[in-house]
A = this chain, B = another copy of it.
Amino acid sequence: MQDLSSNNSHEGRSRVVIEGVTPEIDGGQFPVKRTAGEQVAVEADIFVDGHEVICGALLFRRVDDSTWLEAPMQPLVNDRWRGAFIADRVGRYVYTLVAWVDRFKSWRRDLRKKADVGEHTDLDMLTGAQLIEAAAERAGGADAKKLADWAQSLKAKKVSLSAKLDHVLDDELGSLVDKYPDRTLATVYGKELGVVVDREKARFSSWYEMFPRSCADEPGKHGTFKDCERLLPYVASMGFDTLYFPPIHPIGRTHRKGKNNVVICGPTDPGSPWAIGAAEGGHKAVHPELGTLDDFKSLVKKAQTLDIEIALDLAYQCSPDHPYVKEHPHWFRWRPDGTVQYAENPPKKYQDIYPLEFTSDEWRELWAELKSVVDFWIEQGIHIFRDNPHTKPLPFWQWLIGAVKQEHPEVIFLAEAFTRPRVMYRLAKLGFSQSYTYFTWRNTKPELTQYFTELTQTEVRDYFRANLWPNTPDILNEYLQFGGRGGFMARLVLAATLGASYGIYGPAFELLEARPRGPGSEEYLDSEKYEIKHWDRDRPESLKEFIAIINRVRRENRALQSDGSLRFHAIDNEQMVCYTKQTEDLSNVIVVVVNLDPHHSQSGWVSLSTAELGLDPQQPYQMHELLTGARYLWHGETNYVQLDPASVPAQIFRVRHRLHREQDFDYFL
């Protein structure tokens, strides 16, 4: 800009400033996330020197479309403006902003002010006529004629000033000029910001993780895909929509780990499914004892009939027996003694796993091969993938997810990255559709409140979709070890209502498996990771029916299907937590109260803002408790709740509004 002789004819003349745009992740480096049909609400500071009237518009398009669509920006307060569009289809969108000084609107506003004090003149009318004539030129067609006539009447000597004023203040003509704004000197925001639009499941999903090899009917037998097929109705009856398997590939024999992860492996030990690759194949093969690829495809199809999708674990690492080791030695790090470097984090050693060398000279070939793994499983009908991505380079994931979703925008990637906060968030920014969280270790009221406020009330909400797991095959939290059945129920309710997406590792969860490998350990004793288990899924203490109720409540209440509306509310007992979720139109308002103390009955007074929940503060309102079906009449902002972990440690209320129209007698529906 310093050289005024520049060719750009209006650079210096674009006076309007557009700044402080939200959402805009890391200066526009990363897209925000939405699901199809969700709104993208954009805010910005838009202003100009002086006091002329300005206008702004939000421009948006699907990334493959060439023409921009427009939504008007509306002023809020203090030069903050807001506009919105619906991202109606899966894929990628971009948006940007434009704003301009509107001389016609400025003239009309000033004329009104002058008229208010009787200081409008014929000269003002001539000025306006010029502006309207300019609009006519931009308009063309029939509108041009209308506008030109209008301008003429403002210039006419015979028309009285008051008649001209009436004419100016005519809203129809005002709107007509607005159709042809002069954007010659408009400011266009310098960046096109991205939106990744996923299918709904990326936002709202209920996951069930299980080990196929533990699905046999008979104790001691290796489970198969056929066994899994037989268990699908069990999974469906609990209401899960996503069934997630640890790796299903051939397992290496070299340095295979034994039960409870011991270095010495017995002849019948099945090994860890994460030690992928053997003579039978690698990431594109299935473990022979599970069945054939056709068996797997049959399972996938059968699951579909029950509205269950299968999710696979990518687990980009190799056993020493993986075909890659011989075929592509450059994809591994070799030691001076001619052996491959196994995974280690001294003093821990994982001799059964070779990490891939993502930055070797042959990185392009490796990356392409890893993408072909995803492509292969997409061909088999899989559209949801997981990895523990924090142990592989971040640029790799950004490339992989971008490349896969360009061809298959329906694919969902879940990051099981139990790692440091910056890495966890970066993985979400660069493309993972959902992310594991620290929920697993957030058990107290201040922890839950602070963490979920961060996830849902800050910029994080625009790129990080939480998927909450009370347990995983790797994590049996202390709270579950000691909390008993009430503790499991409390954690389940928290996961399923704090998070629109959540999951459990079963049947360990519903069967209340709580034995750690040792004191202070979060590993399961006799973990399925290293052996085949047989589970008695019909044990009477099973939570399967409670889980089914929870998942039904989630399906029936749209408020629980997204996270942005989450708000915590005061309750005068540090062992109890209260929060709400609601739809934007307040047609579905859910209040959850959980007793976090798994050992004792607790009670407290909940404080709700009736205004925020759309309630008449003068009227009682019905609280419909969805787990039991009980209905309570609450009054005002403060009400009493008592919860006993020996029965059910939580209540999930749907607020039944008192309607204002007298004819609405369906109040107690």
A534 interface contact, C-beta 8 A: no
Contact call A422/B391, Cβ cutoff below 8 A = no
Contact call B347/A117, Cβ cutoff below 8 A = yes
Q: Which B residues lie within 8 Å of A421 (CB)?
A: 78-79
- Within the assembled complex, what's the spacing in Å between the Cα atoms of A250 and B5? 31
Interface centre among A2, A49, A337 (most CB of B within 10 A): A49
Contact call A78/B422, Cβ cutoff below 8 A = yes
Contact call A123/B335, Cβ cutoff below 8 A = yes
A162 interface contact, C-beta 8 A: no
Contact call B110/A346, Cβ cutoff below 8 A = yes
Q: For residue A80, which residue of chain B has the nearest CB?
A: B422
Measured CB to CB, the closest approach of chain B to A50, in angstroms, equals 5
Q: Which B residues lie within 8 Å of A630 (CB)?
A: none
- Within the assembled complex, what's the spacing in Å between the Cα atoms of A11 and B364? 11
Interface size class of A (residues with CB under 8 A): 35 or more
Q: For residue A123, which residue of chain B has the nearest CB?
A: B337
How would residues 460 to 471 of chain A score, 1 for a CB under 8 Å from any chain B CB and 0 otherwise? 000000000000
Contact call A50/B420, Cβ cutoff below 8 A = no
- Within the assembled complex, what's the spacing in Å between the Cα atoms of A37 and B123? 58
A392 interface contact, C-beta 8 A: yes
A558 interface contact, C-beta 8 A: no
| Contact pick for A399, options B2, B392, B395, CB 8 Å | B2
Contact call B391/A50, Cβ cutoff below 8 A = yes
A126 interface contact, C-beta 8 A: yes
Q: For residue A155, which residue of chain B has the nearest CB?
A: B336
Contact call B49/A359, Cβ cutoff below 8 A = no
Q: Which B residues lie within 8 Å of A114 (CB)?
A: 346-347
- Within the assembled complex, what's the spacing in Å between the Cα atoms of A395 and B359? 45
Interface residues of A in 102-120 (CB under 8 A from B): 110, 113-114, 116-117, 119
Pick out which of these stretches binds chain B: A13-21, A65-73, A87-95, A163-171. A13-21
Given known contacts A368-B4, A395-B12, is B390 in contact with A49 (CB within 8 Å)? yes
Query: Can you list 5 pairs linking A and B with CB atoms under 8 Å apart?
Result: A1-B395, A12-B396, A19-B26, A78-B420, A123-B336
Known: A1-B402, A47-B426, A79-B420. 16 other contacts (CB 8 A): A1-B399, A2-B402, A4-B364, A10-B359, A12-B393, A14-B395, A17-B422, A17-B426, A19-B26, A47-B423, A79-B421, A110-B346, A113-B346, A117-B347, A123-B335, A127-B335
